[in-house]
Structure 1
């Protein structure tokens, strides 16, 4: 690959969105930090972080936050959550943990984390195993099916519904509405007015849905996460319906979208490497190691962004207060300075230090649940994929890096 041009990074990645790793490697070999131009913003600059050590500095450091502060001069060109004119979307996303900074983030996260921990002690794992078994039993009889729509998307969605205490029959509607809201997360570069209007309507529908669900649990508390969140010891300035509703939507979105992408990408790895599939089937005790290795090799979230809250030096580069910094997790996870033979699947390495779940204060709140989902899903794939092959045709991928993975993955019986 020719010497990387900073102005070409985003175009080159999108040109090979299915496999962006050679692009990452070319840029990382030229330097672990690059100053590039962001798409859809005219000439607005952006710092790309491609090295593992540098990613840790940004994600775990106090000099970088999730919001552009008013003193940075960045807020005018980059609204923190949603553009003006979309109040339902702004109210919803504005209360998502992922968009908060300390101290509010720390306080909200502590309450939500304790509620999730309590819920995970009450039988969710057993239901997850049952759900996977039911899906596998049905799909093995089918001549062909879409691994994304009929397996990878269903496993985490049903798990999140069980966690929250919501009915399974709502999963298709909820998935559709969540998808509409999630696409607005890319508004800074690709979302347009019509797409934002769809997201605004979906945000309103989800808000109404969860207000109704929370009211139902106030009248009839159970052992689910909705009831635990309602009963949690919220500090007075955090107590309120808006935060509860947004937290429920955020948990549902984060808990199923990333797991869907991770399972889909894991399935594709196994379909493309029959020896890998056979080896895991013969040594199922390696499944936990495979979960972390697959998340390292193919993280569902390829990039996360931060704003510099003060002047800071990283890897010899001065990042100014107010600068946007994008950490390319997919590049950091394949940094040879951290992982030997980074482009190779190896279950004998310690992959647990991958940054597929992020790092620092925004480290994935549901990482324990995600690993459990991935383990159960992988075990299901080991029973589902033998005798299958990818159906003919190209595999379409999402056109973005914040959430990366195949949109469809049809399989058929191998002759």
Structure 2
């Protein structure tokens, strides 16, 4: 048994297919994807943590056509292994550790409240509005703009760049979309080089200034590494938050009892955030490449071969999650793998949690009567799972 990642029926609800696969075995070869896929929580966790499975970057081909995209990824924290990863993670974590999440928390909550107020006004005027366009998409862009010190007037550039670049992570991408991703990578890198130069001369309280300044003895980030880090933060931070908010609010409005439960008890907000990340994972697949022979749940992976953790499948494993197909915002513990595991655990996870929490807090406070206003349109992609739009009303 396998699955077609382009099948609209599968994309609409992949979880029954994952359950059927998991009932057969924990790991399966997927010839169409050209790799093995882990579908249990234990096997997916092993894929993410096993040190004989690494993030080994292979340039997108033809190399000459993807010079900017490849440059960003060759210098990325996400696409490196020790000792390079250890060095980059130490420097980036030191810059992030200068209180940026807590510094931004009041601003994130104010931004979310303002966007929800705009959503309410549009619903009042038109009867319905697209929650993705008004809240879920602009919130992380504004937050990342604040984090990086991008002037507010220029933040409109960020979302189109992110949307274009992340298409490269899908399988069988159309040539025009691949070319658009390369253009976006070049434009974003050029923009960031200008921003870095400005912050070298005029440091502020933003993350770019801290990335410029951070030192470990005589070691520091190169300009290419700094630019790659900023691009990674945009793409990972934007896509994850947009889709947790979009998928999550859709789930809450579908399982109305959980929305009502959150309204009645705002103290459930932290566990609700974790459950929304688990229930409909924004990132469905994360690849690793074997550097030595390794066996995952009885499945042997030879050096050079790829294996992926199917995070959405892991999140519905009944061996770990009681009644896994039920949305339960009181679920605890909730050991989902939505932010990864092992050395590549998401460095921006605390900020992502703040953003999702702020969006839910503002929505429940301002629009307690929120309802769906028609069937949402799902994006036709598998790896990054999200909605094109989420119409809502009251």
**Which bracket does the TM-score occupy, shorter chain normalised?**
over 0.9
2:45 to 31, 49, 56: 56
State whether residues 211 and 226 of structure 2, in contact with CA within 8 Å, keep that contact through their aligned partners in structure 1.
yes
Q: For the Cα contact (< 8 Å) 1:147–1:411, is it kept in 2? A: yes
> Cα–Cα, structure 1 residues 64 and 398, in superposed 2: closer, same or farther, change >3 Å?
same
Distance 1:305 1:162, change over 3 A: same
From 225, 229, 240, give the equivalent of 1:247.
Answer: 229
2:348 corresponds in structure 1 to 366
Q: What aligned pairs does 1:91-110 form with structure 2 within 5 A after superposition?
A: 91-110=71-90
Would you say the 8 A contact 1:115–1:225 is kept in 2?
A: yes
Change (3 A) 1:163 1:152: same
Counterpart selection for 1:406 from 374, 387, 394: 387
Is the CA contact 1:305–1:326 (under 8 Å) kept in the aligned structure 2? yes
Contact residue 43 and residue 296 of structure 2 kept, 8 A: yes
- Correspondence for 1:142: 122
CA-to-partner distance for each residue in 1:270-326, whole Å, 9 max, x for gaps?
Answer: 221222111100100001011111111111111101111111122222221221101
Question: Is contact 2:4-2:10 (8 Å) kept?
Answer: no
Residue in 1 that maps onto 2:63 = 84
For 1:405 and 1:384, how far apart are their aligned partners in 2? 24
Tell me the CA shift for residue 228 of structure 1: 0.3
Q: 1:267 to 1:385 in 2, by over 3 A?
A: farther
User: Measured at CA, do residues 318 and 14 of structure 1 come closer, stay the same or move farther in structure 2, by a change above 3 Å?
Assistant: farther
Q: What is residue 73 of structure 1 aligned with on the other side?
A: none
- Pick closer, same or farther for the CA change 1:203–1:302 going to 2, 3 Å: same
For structure 2, the residue ranges without an aligned partner over 5 or more in a row are none
Is residue 177–residue 203 contact of structure 1 (8 Å, CA) maintained in 2?
Answer: yes
Q: Residues of 1 paired with 2:103 and 2:384: CA distance?
A: 29
Whether the aligned pair in 1 keeps the contact of 2:49 and 2:341 (CA below 8 Å) is: yes
Q: Secondary structure at the match of 1:142?
A: helix
Matches of 1:381 and 1:81, distance apart in 2:
41
- Per the alignment, residue 153 of structure 2 pairs with 169
Give the C-alpha shift of residue 381 in structure 1. Answer: 2.3
**Which of residues 144, 148, 153 in structure 1 aligns to 2:137?**
153
User: What are the Cα deviations for residues 214-261 of structure 1, in whole angstroms up to 9, with x where unaligned?
Assistant: 111111111111110000115767642111111111111111111110
- Matched positions, count: 389
Give the deviation of 1:82 after TM superposition: 5.4
What is aligned with 1:75? none
Q: Residues of 2 paired with 1:114 and 1:12: CA distance?
A: 40
TM-score normalised by the chain length of structure 1: 0.89
* Residues 11, 130 of structure 1: alpha-carbon distance in 2 compared, 3 angstrom cutoff: closer
The alpha-carbon deviation at position 125 of structure 1 amounts to 0.5
Query: By how many angstroms is 1:386 displaced?
Result: 3.2
Question: Distance in 1 between the 2:350 and 2:391 partners?
Answer: 29
- Give the RMSD, CA atoms, in angstroms: 1.9
Is 2:26–2:38's contact at 8 Å kept on the other side of the alignment? yes
2: CA distance, partners of 1:31 / 1:360: 23
* Counterpart check, 1:260 vs 2:242: yes
